[in-house]
Structure 1
């Protein structure tokens, strides 16, 4: 920081002169330079902001004229040495200086003016050199980050390290899309409301330092130090350089995923990789990104079925971005909130907070239907499924449940979703596992071996032996219920079951045989369902 008039007077080189303060005007103002001269008129030599050292002859002869000349030239004050001169200042000199807004200090002992000027100028030059060196380091750092195409968080982190202050990047809707590492959770508490009161927004503003990001007429965000910084000037300079790097990043990445979606995906990735483990920190960032607080959060995955990837990776990427946008828009339009992340091709993971926790099943069913309708508008998407992992009270636990939701989505995609709006683990179970394995040659061979006799049954009986066996296994061997279901008499049913038993060569009442046959039938049905799509 620049030296003030008061700090100069406090220097040992000045204190040796036994200073007496006759006027304390401009005491806390920073000086630009120290000038030593006994000339009566210094107006042509001063530029403003100087502290003048003099032996006082001109001041003693015409105090008002001398002091007015200094004041008009922009000087801050005068230090007069009278210790070795037969000079007496007029009694009203202090009052004149006070009236003209100048500091006036008298030294009653002899001092070396060169000692004072050296001490002050050394410090001024050192601080100026430090500022130049800091400015150069800032320039080199952000230029290097731009060349390396650093992430939003990387640029924000660099600014925070330079300032030793927390830094937040927000978008125009006041969502905190990137925050510096280690930021305290309480600084992100109720972010949107507090940000609207920050500098430039009027009202009862927060004592923050804020810099717009993007061209003045097309700003798309703000960089914020969410507290009163130690050095406002240095903070503003760093934020401006960081904002320029962010603007360049935005231009490079403008055809990729949106700013907020990058931030949401980054938060989910940070939790999955263990970079953030404290629930309070995760919750603060998630809420600053728009996720509402609720009693329980649902890990969910939306998986689409579409043709294989093309030879154009850019087109595939844009379709995935469009798919992510469609999912996020549908969830938001339904009144819910969430964090969204692209997990794989045609697969979006999300942490879902429902708007009404009192009717969860109804809300999920409605959301599943809307998602199925909306995402099919994305080019190439034919069908989709919504899969849910176990609900969790904490966001970190919900993020951990995304892997289970992804597994359920994969299994559900292998089934024929039919009219189901969403899937949980209880909805896929063994049938889902077999659907995933249906293309395995060993699985197919097992099903053919188990059911060969009924698969190639050429009898004209209605229903067929395969249909009778399917219903028998579905009813867990309840023959009375089976006869009623097939509208057959019991003697006729027993005769059909005996024929099936003999053809297959197994005991239909044996539990292991029933399980083996039921699994084989599931494999055949899954393959038939895939062929019919």
Structure 2
């Protein structure tokens, strides 16, 4: 809090003197101190910003010299107490005070100057003490945060609480890394069109918004700015807090030198907030996403990239490094294609992304997705070596929030498609996996295996040569003509063999429920056998069991 000449004029201690303002110059100037003096020349005793209390002897005798001396010394005004020694002032005093740009106040009744000076100095000292106490609080708060290795989010939130202002941390590309918006502010409004507004507020050009900021990072190696994106009430205090917050953020960055960038952490944090429903307002979510670099689009595509694990079990550091490398590769590939997105890593190492596509001229979304998926496969192969990669794409539902929440469905599709055998697609949708995909996921479940075993046990043990016939019969939904054509056998021969299968299994192959059960059972059997074959190829002949010795 500051004290002006007008504030002093309103003090009860001065009001008792029935003050009259003769010169209204500098009434709203801040005073630094109150000084009492009657000598003709006070210039050697003042340092600037003082309000002078006097009985008026020197002012009455040498008005021009007295006022010019005060003005040249930086004083802001004079309070004159009229009394027996000086009942009136010369008529030219008012004009001289205005010409000297000084406030001039006359007291028509006597007051105790000591009461006035005590009241003013008490407020000035209280203000200085408050400033010292606040500086101590700032120092202790950010020192404790640094010692406790507080996160970037915690440091920014502490600055916002201390100032009761919105605080934003951005990188050198003017992308928002994190923000803490005060309760009385609106996130969507604060972050709206952030990149353009921030670029305009980097050099203090005329016409820009009155932001306050501090650079973050060592001199010559700055990596961001911490900003209050408006004109705060107490600008000096805001500068001090942002400077200390910048130091704490720089220390945090030095401590956490890992492969995951702050920008990617901010994107992951936004996705977490939406998935966990900590933030539900579409406008706020969209503002944060666009501030993080996601382009505005009519549709957003949920994309999940699943890569088979190549790291040893029980090595979390290797898994973390691998995930960070894949995240960098995926985000770089998306941006290289002219698209934008939000990216995060989910166990067991899947890369989740919400992508705003930018199709090439004349290219439809399907072709764009195919091209992007092909490039993602290439990027993963360069990063993780010869490992199988599955790309799953969810259905866009227009808004950003539905796209983020649809990542869970896309992850399920990636899991199912990754377990399927056969010819690989550039990317999968839910319609591409269907029942076979579900069976591929559940193939190792003992209950599923028990079901398939109970349905097929007798034909596998007594007549395995009929399994191919059964497989074709259920795949073609019991269409005997189609089965005979596929297997290149005559109708009579087919009927005879089908009756044999019915006798072995003790079922009616024309019954829809029996046909469905056998269809699922053969699918489970085939998926399991394909998985075992893949495992043997992965292990290689050197690790296979040796043949039994001849006796």
TM-score, normalisation: structure 1: 0.92
Contact 1:199 1:210 in 2 (8 A): no
TM-superposed CA distance for 1:456, in Å, is 5.5
- Output the CA distance in 2 between the equivalents of 1:5 and 1:210: 31
Compare 315-324 and 352-361 and name the one that shifted more.
Answer: 352-361
TM-superposed CA distance for 1:310, in Å, is 4.5
Residues 1:396 and 2:382 aligned together? no
- Output the CA distance in 2 between the equivalents of 1:162 and 1:458: 80
Matches within 5 A, 1:127-276: 127-181=127-181, 182=183, 183-184=185-186, 185-200=188-203, 202=205, 204-276=207-279
Number of the residue aligned with 1:366: 371
Compare 48-57 and 69-78 and name the one that shifted more.
Answer: 69-78
Aligned counterpart for 2:431 among listed residues 413, 426, 448: 426
Residues 1:71 and 2:71 aligned together? yes
TM-superposed CA distance for 1:497, in Å, is 2.9
Number of the residue aligned with 1:465: 466
Q: Look up the SS of the partner of 1:30 in the other structure.
A: coil
Number of the residue aligned with 2:15: 15
Number of the residue aligned with 2:105: 105
Number of the residue aligned with 1:328: 331
- Output the CA distance in 1 between the equivalents of 2:45 and 2:257: 54
Residues 1:277 and 2:280 aligned together? yes
Aligned counterpart for 2:303 among listed residues 296, 300, 303: 300
TM-superposed CA distance for 1:178, in Å, is 0.9
Residues 1:27 and 2:27 aligned together? yes
Contact 2:56 2:86 in 1 (8 A): no
Q: Look up the SS of the partner of 1:210 in the other structure.
A: strand
Spell out, residue by residue over 1:235-276, the C-alpha distance to the aligned partner (whole angstroms, 9 max, x if none): 222111211111111112221411111111111111222221
- Output the CA distance in 1 between the equivalents of 2:317 and 2:22: 76
Evaluate the alpha carbon distance shift between residue 510 and residue 76 of structure 1 in structure 2; reply closer, same or farther with a 3 A threshold: same
- Output the CA distance in 2 between the equivalents of 1:201 and 1:124: 32
Compare 517-526 and 413-422 and name the one that shifted more.
Answer: 413-422
Contact 2:55 2:86 in 1 (8 A): no
CA root-mean-square deviation: 2.4
- Output the CA distance in 1 between the equivalents of 2:386 and 2:341: 22
- 5+ residue gaps in structure 2? 535-551
Number of the residue aligned with 2:387: 382
- Output the CA distance in 2 between the equivalents of 1:445 and 1:88: 114
Q: Look up the SS of the partner of 1:329 in the other structure.
A: helix
- Output the CA distance in 2 between the equivalents of 1:381 and 1:107: 93
- Output the CA distance in 2 between the equivalents of 1:405 and 1:311: 27
- Output the CA distance in 1 between the equivalents of 2:303 and 2:84: 87
Contact 1:304 1:347 in 2 (8 A): yes
TM-superposed CA distance for 1:117, in Å, is 0.7
- Output the CA distance in 1 between the equivalents of 2:149 and 2:15: 55
Number of the residue aligned with 2:537: none
Spell out, residue by residue over 1:295-338, the C-alpha distance to the aligned partner (whole angstroms, 9 max, x if none): 23233321110235444433321111111111211222222222
Number of the residue aligned with 2:96: 96
Spell out, residue by residue over 1:349-374, the C-alpha distance to the aligned partner (whole angstroms, 9 max, x if none): 22222224982322222222221221
- Output the CA distance in 2 between the equivalents of 1:38 and 1:381: 93
TM-superposed CA distance for 1:417, in Å, is 6.5
Evaluate the alpha carbon distance shift between residue 411 and residue 246 of structure 1 in structure 2; reply closer, same or farther with a 3 A threshold: same
**Corresponding pairs, count:** 529
- Output the CA distance in 2 between the equivalents of 1:446 and 1:228: 70
- 5+ residue gaps in structure 1? none
Aligned counterpart for 1:352 among listed residues 346, 352, 355: 355
Evaluate the alpha carbon distance shift between residue 308 and residue 199 of structure 1 in structure 2; reply closer, same or farther with a 3 A threshold: closer
Q: Look up the SS of the partner of 1:85 in the other structure.
A: coil
TM-score, normalisation: structure 2: 0.89
Q: Look up the SS of the partner of 1:34 in the other structure.
A: strand
Number of the residue aligned with 2:530: 529
Number of the residue aligned with 1:413: 418
- Output the CA distance in 2 between the equivalents of 1:86 and 1:294: 80
- Output the CA distance in 2 between the equivalents of 1:235 and 1:492: 91
Q: Look up the SS of the partner of 2:169 in the other structure.
A: strand
- Output the CA distance in 2 between the equivalents of 1:251 and 1:450: 62
- Output the CA distance in 1 between the equivalents of 2:531 and 2:283: 46
TM-superposed CA distance for 1:392, in Å, is 2.0
Evaluate the alpha carbon distance shift between residue 439 and residue 86 of structure 1 in structure 2; reply closer, same or farther with a 3 A threshold: closer
Evaluate the alpha carbon distance shift between residue 248 and residue 381 of structure 1 in structure 2; reply closer, same or farther with a 3 A threshold: farther
Q: Look up the SS of the partner of 2:358 in the other structure.
A: coil
Spell out, residue by residue over 1:4-58, the C-alpha distance to the aligned partner (whole angstroms, 9 max, x if none): 1222223232233233333333332211110112233333332221111111222
Matches within 5 A, 1:428-467: 428-455=433-460, 465-467=466-468
Contact 1:197 1:203 in 2 (8 A): no
Contact 1:84 1:109 in 2 (8 A): no
Number of the residue aligned with 1:41: 41
Compare 502-511 and 397-406 and name the one that shifted more.
Answer: 502-511
Evaluate the alpha carbon distance shift between residue 417 and residue 354 of structure 1 in structure 2; reply closer, same or farther with a 3 A threshold: farther
Matches within 5 A, 1:455-494: 455=460, 465-494=466-495
Compare 447-456 and 235-244 and name the one that shifted more.
Answer: 447-456
Contact 1:56 1:87 in 2 (8 A): no
TM-superposed CA distance for 1:382, in Å, is 0.7
Contact 1:84 1:110 in 2 (8 A): no
